[in-house]
Structure 1
Amino acid sequence: MSENWNSDLLSCCDDMKSCCYGLWCCPCLACTVSGLFGQNRCLPLCDICSPAVMSAFGIPLCVPPAGLALRVGIRQKYEIKGSLCKDIATSCICVWCSWCQLHRELKYRNHTPAVVNQPKK
């Protein structure tokens, strides 16, 4: 059973904290998402360094490898509808929105509801 993303790609108003975090410090948000998903927090820094290193060898790189890998991993773990082509397009075209969506998704999935028991009087 596949389900949809909890929020759309451009649904920043659903969680203004994630949106502001991504707007003001997207690399920090990306590292937070990586940590929330159980990966090394420094993994998204590869997306910053890899284009420069690859272009030094004459290989153009437009797909952020860590961002794409985390997006695919989250989508597969939670059985979210989508495809690799959509993940590539999202990771390349709308980087900040993608990280914000991943952050909102993980916050929703990792949220555990609190149970309050009141003693009877």
Structure 2
Amino acid sequence: MGYVIPPPSEFWVQPVVSFQWDMPGKTSKGRRPGGIQTPEWGSGICDCCQDVPECCLAFWCFPCFACKTSKAYGECLCLPLLDAYSCIPPITMSMRVSMRQRYGIRGTMCNDCVYATFCTACAWCQMSREMRRRNYQIVLVSAKTS
């Protein structure tokens, strides 16, 4: 008994579409043409080669990098320093959850917990790349100007 393979015209084929933004020759996972955001992270958890200097800073001086990223996100500068006092880094995890909600990125608390616990520096690098890719301006509503 043999298998019958349908001719190629009967296969359903999904086209692969890529596009460019900001940097020629680079594609973005987190954007569609026209600036429409997709519900995925713009880079993978281990895509550290996308920004080597940033990942080197995260590797060699992680507390400085986490504080810098937290401040850029609009949170307290020293907030990530609280992660040192627990088994599961609550600040890293809550920042990932907050970023997923703000940018409409799909994901689960379980994945956020795993990345925050076992891939902390990579998770912060991914969040930093996402903020830069999304390029949202932070607006402080209750800020007073003098």
Shorter-normalised TM range = 0.7 to 0.9
Q: Which has the larger share of helix?
A: 1
Opposite residue 32 of structure 1, the aligned amino acid is K
What are structure 1's unaligned runs of at least 5 residues?
A: 52-61, 113-121
Query: TM-score, normalization: structure 1?
Result: 0.77
Corresponding residue number in structure 2 for 1:76: 101
The 2-side partners of 1:111 and 1:87 are apart by 22
Structure 1 residues 50-89: aligned runs within 5 Å: 50-51=85-86, 62-89=87-114
Tell me the C-alpha RMSD between the 2 structures: 1.7
Partner of 1:107: 132
CA distance in 1, matches of 2:135, 2:72: 8
> Which residue of structure 1 lines up, in the alignment, with residue 119 of structure 2?
94
Matched length: 101
Return the offset for 1:111. 6.8
Task: Report SS of the residue matched to 2:41.
Answer: coil
- Higher RCO (Cα < 8 Å, 6 or more apart): 1
Q: What does 1:2-81 align with in structure 2 at a 5 Å threshold? A: 3-48=39-84, 50-51=85-86, 62-81=87-106
- Rounded Cα–Cα distance in structure 2 between residues aligned with 1:23 and 1:108: 21
Contact kept? 1:3, 1:79, Cα under 8 Å: yes
Aligned pair in 2 of structure 1 residues 12, 68: CA closer, same or farther (>3 Å)?
Answer: same
Does the CA contact (< 8 Å) of 1:22 and 1:29 recur in 2? yes
Q: Which runs of 5+ in 2 are unaligned?
A: 1-36, 138-146
Partner Cα separation in structure 2 for residue 75 and residue 41 of structure 1: 20
- Bigger radius of gyration, 1 or 2? 2
Amino acid paired to 1:94: C
Describe the SS at the equivalent of 1:87: helix
Residue 66 of structure 1 aligns to a residue whose secondary structure is helix
Partners of 1:32 and 1:41 within 8 A in 2: yes
Which of 103-112 and 64-73 deviates more? 103-112
TM-score, length of structure 2 as denominator length = 0.65
What amino acid is aligned across from residue 76 of structure 2 in structure 1? N
> Could you tell me the percent identity over the aligned residues?
41
**1:82 counterpart letter in structure 2:** G
